[in-house]
Amino acid sequence: METTTTYEKIGGDPVVAKLCARFYELMDTVPQFAELRAMHPADLKNSSEKLYMFLSGWMGGPDLFVEKFGHPRLRGRHMPFSIGLQERDQWVACMVLAMEDVGIDEAVRAKLLENFFHTADFMRNKEG
C-alpha cells in the first residue's frame, strides 16, 4: 500500500516554494508580525531558502536541508533567538495565512497546523 506524502498532497516542489515565499512576504509586510520580522536579517532570501529546503524534507519530499546542512537540529539552531509565546504565535499565524493564500486543501492545512504548532512550541526558549 502506497502512502501519499504531505509533499505530494499539497502539490510538491512548486507549492512548497510558493508557501515559503508567501510566508516571508507576509512576515515582511504585515504589521502583526513585526516582532517575528525583527528576529530575521534584513535580506530574507537565505531564511526563505532554508525554510524551503527544510519543509521539502519535513513534508516527505526531497530532504534538501539534510543533504546540504546535515541534521536540522531545530531547537539548537533557534536557541540564539528569544522565542516565547508571542513569537511562536506570530510564526504560526503567518504560516496559517501563507497556507491559505497558496491554496493548500483545508484538511491538509489542519494537519499541518497541528504539526507546525507543535514544532513552533518546541522552539520556545523563554517564558511568556
pLDDT tens-digit series, residues 35-75: 999 999 999 999 999 999 999 999 999 999 999 999 989 88
pLDDT of residue 62: 97
How many CA atoms lie less than 13 Å away from 93 in the CB half-sphere? 15
pLDDT of residue 58: 96
Residue 2 pLDDT class (50, 70, 90 cuts): low
| SS percent in the chain: helix, strand, coil, step 5 | 70, 0, 30
Distance CA 128, CA 111 (A): 25
pLDDT of residue 54: 97
For cell 522565542, the residue is: 83
For cell 518546541, the residue is: 122
Residue type, 37: R
More confident residue, 116 or 75: 116
Domains of the chain: 11-122 (1.10.490.10)
pLDDT of residue 79: 87
pLDDT of residue 1: 64
pLDDT of residue 128: 77
pLDDT tens-digit series, residues 69-111: 999 898 888 888 899 999 999 999 999 999 999 999 999 999 9
Listing DSSP states for 61-114 in one string gives S--HHHHHHSS--HHHHHTTS---HHHHHHHHHHHHHHHHHTT--HHHHHHHHH
Average pLDDT over residues 113-125: 95
8 pLDDT above the threshold of 90: yes
